[in-house]
A and B are shown apart, each in its own frame.
Chain A
Amino acid sequence: MGNPIVFFILAAIAIAAAMGMLTSRNAVHSALFLVLNFATIAVLYIVLNAPFIGMVQITVYAGAIMVLFLFVIMLLGADKLGGVVGEDKWQRYLAGFLAVALVVVFGIVLAQGGGVDTGTATAIDSSPAALGMRLFEGYVFPFEVTGVLLLTSMIGVVVLGRKKRGKDA
């Protein structure tokens, strides 16, 4: 499924955006590159016949999480800090080593498995209704556990952010 040319164009954009996000010195530019990356991934989902996931990707990641990131960056003036990144040389070498190691591991897995056969993936009904049925029939327990986890962290934030009684701020 999906046109290979479209896939490679999207993949190139996604990788370029990710690189831009890592190498950019300005926090706001980094955030924007990350938004571009998320948007490209969303288009990839749509190409893979999963429009609902693609739209959720944009709504949640690009529309909510990254807007909050930008909000915090602008509020704290973190874009003006600069120069903090890349002070320690050893971090850079370690990151480079780990990146190479990851590529080697991928290569070994692909070589042993003879590549990934994409032909076996069958087209499934990707409408929101079908997705909902699948989620609530087969995966209710993981879904609920995730919900409880998110609720817990939300309550934690409320408790931590609450004003102390009798004290200001």
Chain B
Amino acid sequence: MTPGQIALRAVIVGFIMSLVVVTGFAYTTLLERKLLARLQGRVGPNRAGYIPIPQRGKKERKLLGGILQPAADAVKLFFKEDPTPAKADRVVYNLAPMLAVIPAILILAVIPWAGEINIFGAKFSPYFAIAPGINVGAIFILAVTSIGVYGIVLGGWSSNSKYAVLGGVRASAQMISYELAMGMAILIPVMMTGSMDMGVITAAQPHVWNWFVFRQPVAALIFWIAVMAELQRHPFDLLEAEQELSAGFNVEYAGMRFGMFFMAEYMKMVSLSAIAAILFFGGYHGPFVDQIPALGFLYLALKIIIGLAIMIWIRASWPRFRYDQLMQFGWKRLLPIIVLNFIITGVYFVLLDAGVMPPFIETLHRFFTG
């Protein structure tokens, strides 16, 4: 293919996948509200868009209650009054929600959704992604998540409100602290495969016992914790601690500009859940995926939804960190452990290549890689 054709395909695939994930974002909000409600013994949103099933002699049954709730939320957000605070920095105030959403969408570029596949005669090789074959995929994820903080910090600063500024300051300190642990955790699958290409990392884990979560459980756990902190999800949501900051960085925003911050958070949940699935849970691999490559989409989507459910479950279960605990946990626990993990992995590979490992370790290594 010529570079022009490659670019055109990337634009088309990117457009379609972005639409899919934006819809996914809307239903992630519903999933969160429904699941959180169930975990707290409530029902959750159940009025918008149910399917009435009449029953003889009784009141009708309501099927799929709340299925149109995201649409109702969107309509509400679009028609809400959206005032700008009098002393806000107007340009930055309008720019901040966009700066929050763009990185959340950009991460999607490197996610491999399926293996080699033919869709309507178009051959996707070696794997299906918006931008396949990017050999700096891992560091692309780091770069994009690291610029995600600008939307939050600038949103807080430009509102010209003390609560919002405090939320923004907390966000920048927190994201810089946990980015290190997250970056080093991403590098461990990179070390295991010798490639930063997300497709190669996925291809290295075709079976359940090859998944890096079993070969590098510590790294997987630390990656997950750091992702929660990067997303500012519970228990790391100090920047929007309601009791202390009323609502944090987005306290002055309303209407669709608030909706965009909301969108950024949930889309980042989806895309980082996908990255976690790719790095540690085998990506699009699952039963019969070699015979029917299209199943890859389904398996990755399933793994993403499980990841989202775990995030929501954590939110329902744990209290929020205190600020000094947050910093101590990031710098004094997570970072030393992941650095140690990094060193051990490196030494392990050097010893393995030198052939001085005891035979049972070599047998184990063959089992996990074979």
Q: Which residues of A contact B (CB under 8 A)?
A: 26, 28-29, 32, 35, 51-52, 55-56, 58-59, 62-64, 67-68, 70-71, 74-75, 79, 127-129
| Chain B minimum-CB-distance residue to A59 | B143
Query: Min CB distance, B360 to chain A, in Å?
Result: 31
Pair B136/A55 contact, Cβ less than 8 Å: yes
A26-B89, A70-B154 given; 6 more Cβ-contact pairs under 8 Å? A35-B150, A59-B146, A62-B143, A63-B147, A67-B175, A68-B176
On whether the beta carbons of A67 and B143 are closer than 8 Å, the reply is no
Closest to A65 in B: B176
Residues of A within 8 A of B172 (CB): 67-68, 70-71, 74
Confirm or deny: B169 has a beta carbon within 8 angstroms of a beta carbon on chain A.
yes
A125 CA to B165 CA, complexed, in Å: 45
Q: Which residue of A lies closest to B156 (CB)?
A: A74
- Identify whether the interface residues of B are mostly helix, strand, loop, or mixed: helix
Which residues of B are at the interface with A, using a C-beta cutoff of 8 A? 89, 92, 134-136, 139-140, 142-143, 145-147, 149-150, 153-154, 157, 165, 168-169, 172-173, 175-176, 179, 183, 194-196
The total of interchain contacts (Cβ-Cβ below 8 angstroms) comes to 76
Is B135 touching A71 in the complex (CB atoms < 8 A)?
no
A35–B143 alpha-carbon span in the complex (Å)? 13
B146–A74 touching, CB < 8 Å: no
Known: A64-B179, A71-B172, A75-B169. A58 touches B135 (CB 8 A): no
A74 to B92, Cβ gap below 8 A? no
- Which chain A residue shows the least CB distance to B140? A55
B150 to chain A, nearest CB (A): 7
**Chain A residues with CB below 8 A from B196, complex form:** 128
Q: Are A51 and B134 in contact (CB under 8 A)?
A: yes
The 9 closest A-B pairs by CB, nearest first: A63-B146, A58-B143, A55-B139, A71-B172, A59-B143, A55-B143, A51-B136, A127-B135, A59-B142
Q: Check B147 against A52 for contact (C-beta < 8 Å).
A: no
Across the interface, do A63 and B136 meet the contact criterion of CB distance under 8 Å?
no
Q: B169, A74: Cβ atoms under 8 Å?
A: yes
User: When A28-B92, A32-B92, A64-B146 are in contact, do A56 and B139 touch as well, CB less than 8 Å?
Assistant: yes
Can you list 24 A-B pairs with a CB-CB distance of less than 8 A? A28-B157, A29-B92, A51-B136, A55-B139, A55-B140, A59-B142, A59-B146, A63-B143, A63-B145, A63-B146, A63-B147, A63-B179, A64-B146, A64-B179, A67-B150, A67-B153, A67-B172, A70-B153, A70-B154, A70-B157, A71-B153, A74-B165, A79-B157, A128-B196
